[in-house]
């Protein structure tokens, strides 16, 4: 959950998000080292006589400023490609959910169950109870079992939307007439918030996404109650 004055990412709630956080730190370290080196060179050139206007070319220097950036880009690209492939892997999901974007709410269909689906609308500010978050609470949460592979099929009924939950490290565009998919595994129980991340009209800001990860037994009890009410 994000909080005021926060500078970093939200706490990771899935293995993929943990990988993304590690990659962010790895890349930030490289950026810091490059910035420090450039700043040192600038200060050294201003404060000392570390210049020579008679040097027209230097093969050694040209080799360094060609090879060094190539090495740096490789150190960034290889971990990035690894994470991209990990995010595309969907192996034997225990649960498949279809998330459909509408103007301006989400609907969810649990395809492994017969007639288990619901619409999820934002709770208006005047109806919030103490402890709930403005613009982030929904009247129906997408409930998933913790530590189980979940596949989410994402599409839209009208215009472009985007299904995104930062703590889980997932973001997938919802395109009318097209079925995209993403997957995640929640590493701990909890409630994780997201929002539509594609401008979709006047009420784009009022399309929260709430994922609740619960133990398997609680999920089975919840699904049984939902099927009874259907």
Determine how many CB atoms are found less than 10 A away from the CB of residue 137: 21
For residue 85, pLDDT beyond 70 = yes
- Does residue 170 have a cis bond before it (omega within 30 degrees)? no
Helix (H) or strand (E) holding 36: helix 15-47
Residue at token pair 């020579």: 52
Q: Which residues pair with 150 in a beta bridge?
A: 95, 184
Q: Would you state the structure tokens that stand for residue 51, as one six-digit string?
A: 């210049």
For residue 211, pLDDT beyond 90 = yes
Residue pair 215/186 in contact by the 8 Å Cβ criterion: no
Give residue-wise pLDDT tens across range 36-47: 999 998 888 888
Q: Nearest 10 degrees: CA dihedral of 138, 172, 100, 130?
A: 0
Angstrom distance (rounded) from CA 81 to CA 208: 30
For residue 5, pLDDT beyond 80 = no
Determine how many CB atoms are found less than 10 A away from the CB of residue 142: 23
Determine how many CB atoms are found less than 10 A away from the CB of residue 87: 18
Give residue-wise pLDDT tens across range 135-145: 999 999 999 99
Q: Where are the alpha helices (DSSP H) in 48-118?
A: 59-88
| Stretch among 57-71, 137-151, 159-173 having the lowest mean pLDDT | 57-71
For residue 49, pLDDT beyond 80 = no
Q: pLDDT class for 1, splitting at 50, 70, 90?
A: low
Angstrom distance (rounded) from CA 193 to CA 220: 22
């Amino acid at each position: 959950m994000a909080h005021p004055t926060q500078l970093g990412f939200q706490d990771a709630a899935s293995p993929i998000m943990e990988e993304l956080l590690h990659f962010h730190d790895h890349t930030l370290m490289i950026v810091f080292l490059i910035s420090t080196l450039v700043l040192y060179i600038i200060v050294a050139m201003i404060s000392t006589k570390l210049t020579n206007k008679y040097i027209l070319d230097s093969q050694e220097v040209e080799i360094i400023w060609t090879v060094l950036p190539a090495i740096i880009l490789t150190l960034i690209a290889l971990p990035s490609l690894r994470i991209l492939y990990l995010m595309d892997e969907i192996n034997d999901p225990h649960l498949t959910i279809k998330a459909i974007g509408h103007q301006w709410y989400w609907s969810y269909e649990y395809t492994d169950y017969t007639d288990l689906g619901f619409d999820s609308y934002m709770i208006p500010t005047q109806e919030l109870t103490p402890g709930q978050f403005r613009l982030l609470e929904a009247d129906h949460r997408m409930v998933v079992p913790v530590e189980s592979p979940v596949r989410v099929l994402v599409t839209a009924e009208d215009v472009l939307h985007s299904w995104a939950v930062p703590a889980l490290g997932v973001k997938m565009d919802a395109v009318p007439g097209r079925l995209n998919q993403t997957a995640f595994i929640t590493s701990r129980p909890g409630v994780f918030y997201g929002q539509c991340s594609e401008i979709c009209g006047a009420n784009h800001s009022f399309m929260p996404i709430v994922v609740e990860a619960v133990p398997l037994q609680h999920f089975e009890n919840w699904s049984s109650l939902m099927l009874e009410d259907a």
